[in-house]
Amino acid sequence: MKLNLKSILNATWKVGLGLFGLGAAIIGILLTCVWHHEKHGVDEYEAWSLSKDVAVQTYNDTRVRIRNNATGRFTTPKLEWVCEGEPRKDSLTVFCDLRGRRGFLNVKNGEIVIPAQYSKAWLFSEGLGAILGKNGKVGFIDKDNRLVIDCIIPYEEGSDYVFKDGCLTAGYWQDGRRHCAVFGKDGQLILGWSHTRVDDADERGYRVAADENGCWLYDRQFKRVFPAPYDDIELARGNEGVYVTKDHVKQLVDFDGTVLEPFVVDDVYQLKYVTRYNVDEPDTYEILPDVVGYRVSSWEGLMDARTGKALTPAIYWSFEVISKDLIQANLGYSEESVVLDRRGRLVKQ
């Protein structure tokens, strides 16, 4: 009897140990499956389209694969990311592999066209794609991965290197100064690096560029519209004209230089001064009834509030009303200032 009981207990212990091991193994497998799904499973809510037949499938580890829905197969291994881009004529977009290298794939069928090999790359535009060369500068390749524009363009973090209407606008900072240029699709400079500002062209092909002499307006063929530069130029959106600023005076002119509006301001604001300081309540202010401030670009002037006539040119940086009769005018970036009366006349000491 004792022998049988001992045998039963021994067998029970072994069976229990076996069941415990089996249970632990099952739990381990389940936890591994859960971890694998959380890490590598498909995120069913995160899938988006590159084109009609091509989708980007996102995984729980944030990585992606490209799937051709027409054939029902994946066309790439896992990737770090793929650029959605904007609607465009070019069919190539940028992807980044798991080693941080970039290449290009076709958004229409999902196939990799140019294998990942570049440290940085940008969307194809007008048949060319920008890449960062080994020398740290930007060049352009065609769809056969042939370098068609040498890597000569200085690279700037955050810049987008794409062609628009056959032109590439590029820029970089050096020694506290902005350098801008425009390249053609042949790699030749259209506007050189002496420019400090180059805007994109508007729908009519006009663009503003600035150099050490001032601002110039160029047409679609990069011919200067006006013979002399201005201090500032702003294309008048929705109007057949251009805002030009010279010697702190802003005007609206047509493309022949004829003045349409001789006096244009960017903003008008009321001038006020404190009449009583309160410790526990807001200060009491009084508004000057017959004079206001106006702005042209970053500069300010005084205007007659009743007639709209300028009392001073916009040559001051800011105003501070001292009293109902006196206004302190700050001179530019320095801390110097002058005192004016309410008619904008300098108060002599």
Q: Please write the tens of the pLDDT for every residue from 244-256.
A: 999 999 999 999 9
Cα–Cα distance, 106 to 192 (Å, whole number): 34
Q: Which of 5-19, 21-35, 225-239 has the highest mean pLDDT?
A: 225-239
Give the pLDDT score at 21.
59
Q: What is the DSSP letter of 88?
A: -
Q: Please check the confidence at residue 234 and state whether its pLDDT lies above 80.
A: yes
| End-to-end CA, the chain | 126
In this structure, which amino acid lies at residue 191? Answer: L
Task: Kindly report which listed range (78-92, 221-235, 335-349) carries the lowest average pLDDT score.
Answer: 78-92
Average pLDDT over residues 10-28: 57
Q: Please check the confidence at residue 15 and state whether its pLDDT lies above 90.
A: no
Whether 156 and 172 have beta carbons less than 8 Å apart is answered as yes
Q: State the CB neighbour count (10 A cutoff) for residue 23.
A: 10
Tell me the pLDDT of the chain averaged across its residues. 87
Residue 30's pLDDT band (boundaries 50, 70, 90)?
Answer: very low
pTM for this entry? 0.77
What are the residue ranges spanned by the domains of the chain? 267-341
Average pLDDT over residues 275-301: 83
Backbone angles phi, psi at 13, to 5 degrees: -60, -40
Cα–Cα distance, 7 to 120 (Å, whole number): 72
Give the pLDDT score at 273.
87
Residue 333's pLDDT band (boundaries 50, 70, 90)?
Answer: confident
Q: Please check the confidence at residue 95 and state whether its pLDDT lies above 90.
A: yes
Give the pLDDT score at 26.
57
Exposure of 228 by Cβ count < 10 A (0-12 exposed, 13-18 middle, 19+ buried)? exposed
Cα–Cα distance, 313 to 248 (Å, whole number): 7
Cα–Cα distance, 113 to 120 (Å, whole number): 16
Cα–Cα distance, 315 to 63 (Å, whole number): 56
Q: Which of 39, 43, 118, 85 is nearest to 93 (CA)?
A: 85
What percent of the chain stands above pLDDT 90? 72
Give the pLDDT score at 22.
57
Q: What is the DSSP letter of 247?
A: T
What percent of the chain stands above pLDDT 70? 83
* Model confidence pLDDT, tens digit, residues 124-142: 999 999 999 999 999 999 9
